[in-house]
Amino acid sequence: MAEIKINVELCKGCGLCVAQCPIANIKMSEEANNQGHIYPIIISKEKCTGCALCCKMCPDVAIEIEK
């Protein structure tokens, strides 16, 4: 199973990861990080397929997938 890790402090809240998730398993938080940006959260870690599209789309390199 893949493990997704999001560094919320690097995130600038663009939402590209949400748009790219093929199973709609990422949403933006209601809270902000220390820079004032909302950040992505995983809805269900168990459902993550490890496709890494979110990682590839993140311009801030704030998402990692470990398999």
Quickly state the pLDDT bin for 3 (edges 50, 70, 90).
confident
What confidence tens digit (pLDDT) does each residue in 4-19 have? 999 999 999 999 999 9
Domain 3-66 sits in CATH at 3.30.70.20
Residue type, 61: V
* Residue 57 phi, psi (nearest 5): -85, -15
pTM: 0.90
CA 33 to chain centre: 14
Average predicted confidence (pLDDT) for the chain:
95
What confidence tens digit (pLDDT) does each residue in 23-38 have? 999 999 999 999 999 9
